[in-house]
Amino acid sequence: MTIRQPIITVLGHVDHGKTSVLDYLRGTTLADREAGKITQHIGATEVPIDKIKETCGELLDLFKLEFNIPGLLFIDTPGHEAFSNLRKRGGSIADIAVLVIDINQGIQPQTRESIEILKSFKVPFIIAANKVDLITGWKSEDKIFIKNIKNQAENVTKYFNNNFYKILGDLAEIGFESNLYHQVEDHQKTVSIVPVSAKTGEGIPELLAVLTGLSQRFLTGKLEIETDAPAKGTILEIKEEKGMGTTADVIIYEGTLRQDDTIVIGGLDSAVTTKVKAILKTKPLSEIRDKKSSFDKVKEVIAASGVKIIANDLNQAIAGAPIISVQDKSKLEEAQNKVKEEIEEVLVKTGDDGVVLKADTLGSLEAASNLFQKHEIPIKRADIGNITKRDIVEAEGSLENGSEYPFVLGFNVTIEQELETMAKKKKIPIIINQVIYKIVEDFEKLHTERKQRLELEEISDLQWPAKIQIMKQYIFRQSGPAIFGAEVIDGKLTPDVELINKDGKVVGRVKKIEEKGKKLDELKKGKEAAVAVSKLIIGRGADGGDFLITNMSESAFRKLKNKKHLLSKSEIQVLKELAEIKRKENDLWGI
């Protein structure tokens, strides 16, 4: 068994410095052409252990660090889209993540998004609290943060602490205990925070030390690989490249991939079987600017590695899909079935009712599906690609069937103007965003509104509860019908409802409601108007100043009671008073 380097991805809110942190890591040895130089992979940067030792310096003794991993492999392309494509069955190929947070801005929308995705893929993470150098008055006199913090002025330390504890509080609300890395007692329960500056390099040695230490302490078993085993990997990106045709950028996380190997890769419609024509690795960083000779052709690569593969039929593959090499032809069918099953698990029809979900890659689709499941959003169909006419037609069918979910939700996809116009005309809600949690947020708002509309339609034929007071100074006619001024104390009064008094006796039926000669369909709480009530005789059934309540059948009461979340507090109060009156004669009325 061989220990491979852990695969580390960097996530965070836009402009919080994800790329800058990676750039600093790469830049530390940009001019270093000696042994131990950083190796640039396709889509990844390998930091060898010698470079980590050199960068950590005095921290090796301070933290008593000993090394058994060959280095760290950072995924270059930051952001949740890239992370989503680092998927594999049941989780992620990323062993650990660095969540970058601007200490001056704190947790932002995409920070929460990143945390949600890390949780759904079960990836442990540490936090790089970036941009400490932008704190007014901050002195970066040392590359080691825990030494530097002692040299700050009192007001600077106070500002840092305020921002730091705000991040701690926000993380606690999300469900994570966290602290400065050197104050963490149990790394399995508490998230380590390393304050850094990607500009000055402050905190970077500590970041590397923490990543290395945690990887060795908690991931050793996961990092053990058989180098002679078939390769397993994940496709980061499929693209057309001049002079190469369709290529696949791949992260190999297990085994060895060789030129001429048969590989099985995930496609939209099926597992694609092809042969590796060439494996390309970038040359050392000192030569990467030379576009004419950017790549070295290699015969094989051992995990963990980022490489570019040239092969036939790669145009059928999808980002985020698995890749498996097959050394034994008798195991080809087994590999094809594994890949096919994995794709089908994500591109799943989950039920007869639910939203239509579209995403740009398999990884994005899986991340969105996981989050939707957590928020109890049912999915009727999940698929890859931009929104199509088929998606709208499918949602239209849900609309016609009275479903709660006639929605098309798109993560990192687009819709043509013509189709968007068609959807609006058919009243199909389309929600598209590059941030999954925003899609969930917008959906939940629109879904709540639609659900309430549907429920209101169910009880639209029921009379609404109301309590009114006869205004004794405005009795215009005592009978035939009685006409008087009325104020709605609670609920909402509508025409054609029976009224009862405090003894439960029916005193009459509301014939009409008028305000300044204009007929009203309803009169809400706090409003006054003239009310005509048939069969009521003022002075017998009721007097000026009396309170009357709308009557209703026991079955209507139960229906409204079951939908009381649609009623206002005052309407619920009327129902309670009605029940009290009715239960004077029948203890179990409405129960």
- Residues 80, 375, 447, 565: which is the catalytic one? 80
Cα Rg of the chain (Å, integer): 33
User: Would you state the structure tokens that stand for residue 366, as one six-digit string?
Assistant: 């899986």
Closest CA to 484 of 523, 505, 512, 525: 512
The CB density around residue 580, as the number of other CB atoms within 10 Å, is 13
DSSP H stretches of helix in 145-256 = 145-148, 154-174, 204-218, 220-223
Angle, CA 386 vertex, CA 381 and CA 388 arms, to 5°: 70
φ and ψ of 269, to 5 deg:
-100, -25
Task: Note the helical H segments in 415-494.
Answer: 417-425, 436-458
Q: Is 80 a catalytic residue?
A: yes
Task: Report helix, strand or coil for 148.
Answer: helix
CB 552 within 8 A of CB 510: no
Quote the CA–CA distance of 78 and 71 in Å, as a whole number. 19
Other Cβ atoms less than 10 A from the Cβ of 327: the count is 14
Please count the CA atoms within 13 angstroms of the CA of 587 that sit on its side-chain side. 0
- Asked if residues 10 and 59 have their Cβ atoms less than 8 Å apart, the reply is no
Phi, psi of 378 (to 5 degrees): -70, 145
576 to 462, 488, 558, 590: CA distances (angstroms):
17, 16, 12, 10
Does an H or E element contain 582, and which? Answer: helix 569-582
Any idea which residues carry the catalytic annotation? Answer: 80
